[in-house]
């Protein structure tokens, strides 16, 4: 089986590339090596890798890269959150137009199998239950509430406190930033492609991925890399809000394993019928608070620098988002293997990806 992995030089893509090669697949990588992210080909990509250096928006390059390919694993994307309005065109261009270009080329080339990197951000806030009103959807938290230390969302109907529940794949979609909107659009495009071509698509909604090669401290880094970078510099991790916000930290090798299972699920006669698109949470199923993660990481650095819970906040952050991994287990046979303590202990020492030295013209 020949797999094309887009974004193969990146944090998650490179682990998929490695895992797929380990299974004996013929793997072709595809990556733009964008100078804002990469300083040339990363050293962790083996020299004998069949790697195409091009942009997913380049239809000609994508078509050439699809030659002989059976299945595409699409990881290439502009990541992060998108902080203001000026970010919209960039996310739409790279993530939406790039995916549309890829899907069109796949249709022309007769490639009928797709695995797509999606994200938990398509849900917005996690799931919440009110004692009186059942499952509710709280609105984005107001600046005044956050500034007053009122971090928990409240019932939109009665204003009472809520209980956090696990998000399942049938939850309402509520993308709240440019990145989230572009990830949801990718899922919709993949479903359209599947219907039009009789293709099979699996979208994997990643939760908070961490592990070796995670990009070091940049505005687009996840919190685990930010804390690890701070500790290395001898600074205490700065924990926002009250540190009790929950996330599901899932190890990158588990995410790679989920991708391999999803690739297999798109085979003819497997779980995903022709013409359909499935979506699955990729999570450990064992949520932790951001404060716990900071403490665990600080402990691995000897415990001399304990996290500081600052009460600061980022408007637009969601409070809790924890997922049910049940559908991925049932549909793909996926179950995360790396436990939190073990994963964080390894992550404290793992090599991270250095930020690129962005040329002045691009900075
Ligand atoms: C992150 C990603 C998002 C991705 C998702 C799933 C970023 C910026 N966000 O969302 O793109 O789709 O995971 O993989 O890459 N925090 C601190 N201190 C800090 C930084 C953050 O306490 O210095 C807190 C935040 O307030 C938040 C939590 O940590 O409560 C998680 O933040 P972050 O890692 O940015 O992730 P998500 O918003 O969960």
Give residue 84's pLDDT.
77
- Quote the pTM value: 0.95
Q: Are 162 and 152 in contact (CB under 8 A)?
A: yes
The tokens of 111 are what?
A: 């490639």
Rounded CA-CA distance 160/245 in Å is 18
- Read off the DSSP letter of residue 266: T
CA 110 to chain centre: 28
- Give the residue from 4, 117, 9 showing the smallest Cα distance to 65: 4
- Contact assessment for residue 339 and residue 250, using Cβ atoms and an 8 Å cutoff: no
Residues 280 and 85: beta-carbon distance below 8 Å: no
Identify the H or E element spanning 191.
Answer: helix 178-197
CB-facing half-sphere around the CA of 339: CA atoms within 13 A: 3
Residues 6+ away with beta carbon under 8 Å from 30: 4, 5, 6, 7, 8, 51, 52, 54, 56, 62, 65, 76
Residues in contact with ligand 1 (CB, 6 Å cut-off): 79-81, 119-121, 179, 206-209, 220, 222-223, 226, 238-240, 245, 247, 290, 314, 317
User: Closest Cα partner for 222 from 243, 242, 208?
Assistant: 208
Q: Provide the pLDDT for residue 290.
A: 98
State the sign of the Cα–Cα–Cα–Cα dihedral 292, 166, 118, 263: positive
From residue 198, give the alpha-carbon distance in Å to each of 61, 108, 259, 268. Answer: 24, 13, 21, 11
For residue 347, which of 304, 299, 286 has the smallest C-alpha distance? 299
pLDDT at position 101 is: 98
Ligand 1 atom closest to the CA of 179, numbered from 1: 11
Ligand 1, residue 226: give the atom nearest the CA.
Answer: 23
Maximum distance among all Cα pairs of the chain, rounded to whole angstroms: 61
Q: Mean pLDDT, 10 residues at a time, over the chain (363 residues)?
A: 97 98 97 89 96 98 98 94 80 97 98 98 94 94 96 96 96 91 97 98 97 82 92 96 98 98 95 96 98 97 93 92 96 98 96 66 31
Give residue 223 CA to ligand 1 midpoint distance, Å.
5
Closest to 45 in 3D by CA, of 88, 12, 8 = 8
179 part of the active site: yes
Residue 240 phi/psi, 5-degree rounding, is: -80, 165
Query: What angle is formed at CA 28 by the lines to CA 197 and CA 75, rounded to 5 degrees?
Result: 65
Structure tokens at 190: 């993949």
pLDDT of residue 80: 76
- Beta pairing partners, 138: none
- Beta bridge partners, 32, equal none
Q: For atom 12 of ligand 1, which residue has the closest CA?
A: 119
Residue located nearest, by CA, to atom 25 of ligand 1: 240
Q: Which two tokens stand for residue 321?
A: 């988002």
- As a whole number of angstroms, the distance between CA 279 and CA 296 comes to 31
- Residues 281, 328: contact at Cβ < 8 Å? yes
Out of 91, 179, 206, 210, which one is annotated catalytic? 179
Q: What is the model's pLDDT at position 35?
A: 83
Residue 74 DSSP code:
E
């Amino acid at each position: 089986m020949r797999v094309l992995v887009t974004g193969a030089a990146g944090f998650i893509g490179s682990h998929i590339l490695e895992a797929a090669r380990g299974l004996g697949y013929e793997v072709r990588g595809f990556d733009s090596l964008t100078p804002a992210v990469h300083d040339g080909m990363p050293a962790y990509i083996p020299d004998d890798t069949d790697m195409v250096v091009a942009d997913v928006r380049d239809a000609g390059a994508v078509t050439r890269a699809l030659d002989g390919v059976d299945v595409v694993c699409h990881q290439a994307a502009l990541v992060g959150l998108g902080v203001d309005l000026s970010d919209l065109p960039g996310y739409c261009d790279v993530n939406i137009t790039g995916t549309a270009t890829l899907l069109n080329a796949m249709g022309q080339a007769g490639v009928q199998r797709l695995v797509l990197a999606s994200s938990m951000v398509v849900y917005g806030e996690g799931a919440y239950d009110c004692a009186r009103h059942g499952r509710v959807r709280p609105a984005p938290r107001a600046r005044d509430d956050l500034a007053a230390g009122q971090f928990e969302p409240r019932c939109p109907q009665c204003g009472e406190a809520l209980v956090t529940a696990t998000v399942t794949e049938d939850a309402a979609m509520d993308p709240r930033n440019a990145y989230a909107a572009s990830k949801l659009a990718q899922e919709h495009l993949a479903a359209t492609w599947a219907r039009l071509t009789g293709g099979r698509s699996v979208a994997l909604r990643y939760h908070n991925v961490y592990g070796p090669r995670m990009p070091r401290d940049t505005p687009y880094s996840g919190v685990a890399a930010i804390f690890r970078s701070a500790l290395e510099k001898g600074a205490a991790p700065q924990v926002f809000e009250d540190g009790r916000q929950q996330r599901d930290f899932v190890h990158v090798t588990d995410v790679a394993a989920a991708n391999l299972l999803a690739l297999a699920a798109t085979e003819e006669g497997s779980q995903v019928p022709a013409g359909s698109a499935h979506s699955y949470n990729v999570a450990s199923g064992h949520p932790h608070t951001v404060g716990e993660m900071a403490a665990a990481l600080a402990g691995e650095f000897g415990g001399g620098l304990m996290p500081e819970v600052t009460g600061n906040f980022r408007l637009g952050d969601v409070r809790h988002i924890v997922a049910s991994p049940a559908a991925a287990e049932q549909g793909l046979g996926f179950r995360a293997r790396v436990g939190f303590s073990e994963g964080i202990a390894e992550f404290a020492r793992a090599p991270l990806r250095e930020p690129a030295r962005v040329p002045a013209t691009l900075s």
